[in-house]
Structure 1
């Protein structure tokens, strides 16, 4: 579906516990019927313990062994020399949207939306706001959530991280999979608690605010008090929280109805955060939808309950008023969270997207960083109206000398030789596995993927490991042993269950078949090309992307050859595929009966 600047959020639903789907339902074309369930508390449960669930027993097919995976980015914008003491935007390249940040114990912690990918809600740590390390995930156990039956862009929306009195809190929404909840941890690397569900809080994008008097509040987006006056009419609500009891208390009230200027019918006021500075309560929100009209706005009050006075200079961040034909545009800026930096200045993390051809982006919505200026009168501003988001920015004063942000920004090569005891934290899966099909121990130094009956168009969990596409120009490659009969295996580029490429191999009567499958929308997957080659022990596969042109190659020992060049990779862009994620690439294996 085409991307638009507005969207229609259903209220987050909480449906009854469900059972595992039957084999016939594994490749349902849509998320109709039961869309999710509230999971029980199964903290620490092993994946293998869930394999007995009907329809998800471990596949009997022989595993496929991958020797390595390598990814290289070559974006022209990242080639610009970086002066000492400066950093590059985005600080997290690739699909890392809806950032939220908190300062604790001299460090910074940042989380992002993850939708139905697993593990969910990545947690990053930094000492200087520029160099980041992925230290874990909040949703890292199968029993915490269940995303079966959901489209890729449902699930976890806009988490917020807070720290108070020695405890970290993440509060968020599991859309169509339980509703609003929060989790806690003493160590942000985990483990995190099981979800504490908030059945009385409807809507999305919740955040906590801890006031000086010890009171705690939950703020979020929801429908207005009366019937919506127009499409996208929403409100910001607040209620006091009793964290000891794990529930809201007292009246729930509207802080902001519609947006900063209701006379203009503003759409999708959301992502609210409250900050306290110099006796003022600042309510900072996103407005305008998550596409090109996205923006960040602010209002303030001397009283936590308002009334909140909008800033006359709103929006404090947007790119919507810039020429559409500007070179190498960055768009969709908004959904910011503010924090005081190591140098005493305030900084904002926010999402934005790097476009090609003026409107496409396969890398999804990424995390950017800019300083916050407190203007005369005490109002914050992230970026003056009409200015483009800078790609190179002076870092906080505590950052000196050369800056190396790999593997999260800039051009770099990232390689996984699968030599460790556990998978690298940057690998993600589509939804939550019911059986452990990825194995690093059976043959040390190799990744073994046990093929499943699920294809990439499933609404369950295919045997696909993905790592985010972080560049407009890139190469992703892997080496694998030729799969056994009855198995297809190779390298996939996936935006969702409806938009993907699969560069695969399978046994043929007279050798090894290398093929390229594509799905682009509601139509079934189709084979774009195939070639039979001599069946050696190992085959290398490569996907090379150049903005909207993707090429697919193989090497069976005689050097690289292209199977397909310059296929239309725009099917992986948000403009075409819709949703809120970016493309991910990596190894995939399936039983051939899944076709």
Structure 2
């Protein structure tokens, strides 16, 4: 079996050999994980729903190989990293692997959850797939390759001469390869957020840069207006001309996508006029509009066999103001061309939630739901976690195993708020209206805890856990809203429960926009509410960073 296919299987297998040496009261057993989310009725026939990947799937990059499309996303310091998706119709996406799936490939150490992998770019040339990306604060820019996009992917080949972030790889029709990315401008930055785009030749045989980098964009479309954060560049060749598209304006509500054009691959690149640029943004729309989609940008364009063009990009869905918990999501829209320039969405037009499908035959194979209303159940079959599950940072010492229809977590000293390697596995919250529930069997020592947590990062999380306090079993509701709060979270409520030690207890987190309800049930009994907590601490606006909320089981030792 390949690690790409089975994600966390290696780490689980490593724990299996040591599980017999872990005391019984240090193992929490989780069964019957159920995630459910609401997002309206199914779209009409011939239509699709945006986003196509709901939840924390930012910075999409897409490539086509024959009838097949492949897409990757940023994962920052979550492991395994860089999910690889496959589709035949651009609408239904199936995860086929993770490009970073072995602890030896990268080490996130104690990085914050919004460091690590930024903006991977996937492309294909001469039978080989390439991903070029940045590991922020953990090595810089690198390339990995694979013959099969499902993996295995190679160990990173580092590009020490390439500074900055967000590299992408372009193969010209003459076979030459170029890397373009965001770097510092020439001389001191003129203002905060002043960045530049640089190009440099890349040798795919030696996997090395060839030197002589050239700045092709300084600042952005209109340097006099002091544009900020030009990033995420991609190059296309259309009808003999070279088009450079990039994000501009930062990843918040001023986000946009812009385009430049040149007759030569290394420029000079001239921006489209203001009547064309930006080719995608939502910043000009009324922020008070109902059900807004905001912060659109970081697009990648792909051409279909029939010659038409489509774009994947990121955007967000606030539940109020600029508050959103589920992160930046992957969207899809057609691209129109006029007078030699592409446009993803005309200025002032809102991103549609329901739109006509691409003229591609749907993939006949059923795929796990990635958008819309759905329920997924994980009874932990086999001996590995499904690809939906991730953990915080690279697992040095695995703390979980799967077997007998259950996930077992070792209650270790590291907690979620310790900026370390907690016994915690999670999957994305993909809806504003959602719930996650699991059955836990645990014999906690004093102060130990096992349960469910919704995590934005080490300093912003909430949850509900089964614990022992004063020698008695209790269910504790907790939240951590900043770095000054206890690493195990502040106790919001603690309820003693009438259950025998070692009997199963069900735990549930329910979200409705900013409100998270924490509940428990003993055995098959009715749900009992423990607390309703303010979930805006999980929003990007309050927590900062670039990720989205993850929900899943945890276990920790007593303190």
Q: Does 1:211 align with 2:175?
A: no
Per-residue CA distance 1:14-38 (angstroms, 9 max, x = gap): xxxxxxxxxxxxxxxxxxxxxxxxx
Whether contact under 8 Å (2:9, 2:383) holds in the other structure is no
User: Following TM superposition, by how much is the alpha carbon of 1:342 offset from its aligned partner in structure 2, in angstroms?
Assistant: 4.9
Match of 1:472 among 426, 432, 435: 432
Match in the other structure for 1:535:
499
Partner of 1:32: none
Match among 260, 285, 298 for residue 335 of structure 1: 298
Q: Distance in 1 between matches of 2:12 and 2:254?
A: 46
The alpha-carbon distance between structure 1 residues 370 and 437, as it changes in their structure 2 partners (threshold 3 A), is same
User: Which sections of structure 1, spanning at least 5 residues, go unmatched?
Assistant: 1-43, 52-57
Structure 1 residue 181: Cα displacement: 0.2
Structure 2 partner of 1:562: 529
> What SS class does the counterpart of residue 143 from structure 1 fall into?
coil
Are 1:409 and 2:342 matched, yes or no? no
Establish whether residue 74 from structure 1 lines up as the match of residue 34 from structure 2. no
Residue 235 of structure 2 is aligned to residue 280 of structure 1? no
**Do the aligned residues in 2 keep the contact of 1:84 with 1:402 (CA within 8 Å)?**
no
**1:50 and 1:467 mapped to 2: Cα distance?**
21
Aligned-residue offset at 1:522: 2.2
Q: Is the counterpart of residue 454 in structure 1 residue 414 in structure 2?
A: yes
Q: Match for 1:379 among 337, 341, 354?
A: 341
Number of equivalent positions: 537
Mapped pair 1:348 → 2:290: no
| 1:406–1:412 CA contact under 8 A, matched in 2 | no
Q: Partner residue of 1:253?
A: 214
> Where do 1:188-203 residues align within 5 Å?
188-203=149-164
Relative to structure 1, the CA distance from residue 214 to residue 266 in structure 2 (aligned partners, 3 Å threshold; closer, same or farther) is same
Alignment of 1:174-573 (within 5 A): 174-312=135-273, 313-375=276-338, 377-399=339-361, 407-441=369-403, 444-486=404-446, 487-508=448-469, 511-524=472-485, 525-536=489-500, 537-557=503-523, 558-565=525-532, 567-573=533-539
Please report the TM-score for the alignment, with normalisation by the length of structure 2: 0.93
Determine helix, strand or coil for the equivalent of 1:208.
Answer: strand
Q: CA RMSD in A?
A: 2.0
Give the unaligned 5+ runs of structure 2: 1-7, 16-20
Flag the 1:401–1:452 CA change in 2: closer, same or farther, 3 A.
closer
Alpha-carbon distance change, 210 to 463 in structure 1, aligned in 2, over 3 angstroms = same
Counterparts of 1:435 and 1:401, CA distance in 2 = 39
Cα distance in 2 for residues equivalent to 1:349 and 1:430: 27
What is the distance in 2 between the residues matched to 1:135 and 1:120? 13
CA distance in structure 1 between the partners assigned to 2:62 and 2:385 by the alignment: 26
Equivalent positions of 1:66-215 (< 5 A) are: 66-75=30-39, 78-79=40-41, 82-215=43-176
CA contact (8 A) 1:343 1:398 kept: no
**Counterpart contact for 2:282–2:293, Cα < 8 Å:** yes
Deviation, structure 1 residue 184: 0.2
Is 1:65 matched up with 2:29?
Answer: yes
Deviation readout 1:75-125 (Å, 9 max, x if unpaired): 3xx33x511111000000000000000011420000000000000000000
Deviations 1:231-279 (A, max 9, x none): 0000000000112111111310100000011010000000000000001
Change (3 A) 1:133 1:365: same
Return the TM-score normalized by structure 1: 0.88
